[in-house]
Amino acid sequence: MSTPENGGAVYRRYLSAVMLHGHAGAKAVGMGATDLYALNVLGLGGSMTPGELGRRTGLTTGPTTRLIDRLEQAGYVRRVPDPDDRRKIIVELVARPGGLDEVLAPARQKIGAIVQGYSPEEQAVLFDYFARAADAYLDATTELHDKRA
């Protein structure tokens, strides 16, 4: 059981485990972690410009172009003209890596069992935390990028 004194270490261990699993999952389906992360960004955020994809993945222009090239060549995304401004390109998600659900299933099942062990009220707190923490991390990321710019 964690205490306020070791809560920071417990949380860092959790974040490290999540990142390590993400890297292992990507490798298991023959991808790099950044590529799989980009597919997740597109899956959650929908189609977007290369610039927006770069901002959301933390990549600069050149690496973003190479990322999109790899994903397009693998058949996961396609570039299409922006219907509102034909000078712009939109990146659309068109497929997911084969076997990804199977690779991620064991962790999903284990985490699902943990969550099911909580009462509905506790689950509501957990999911409220996940939503609010995600927003906090995204805001902090924007602040870090703004300071560097």
- Render pLDDT for 67-85 as a digit per residue (tens, 0 to 9): 999 999 999 999 999 988 8
The predicted model scores a pTM of: 0.86
Residue 141: per-residue pLDDT: 86
Contact assessment for residue 98 and residue 79, using Cβ atoms and an 8 Å cutoff: no
Distances (CA, A) of 71 to 5, 48, 59, 83, 92: 44, 14, 15, 22, 10
Residue 148: per-residue pLDDT: 79
Spatial distance between the Cα atoms of 78 and 38, rounded to a whole number of angstroms: 13
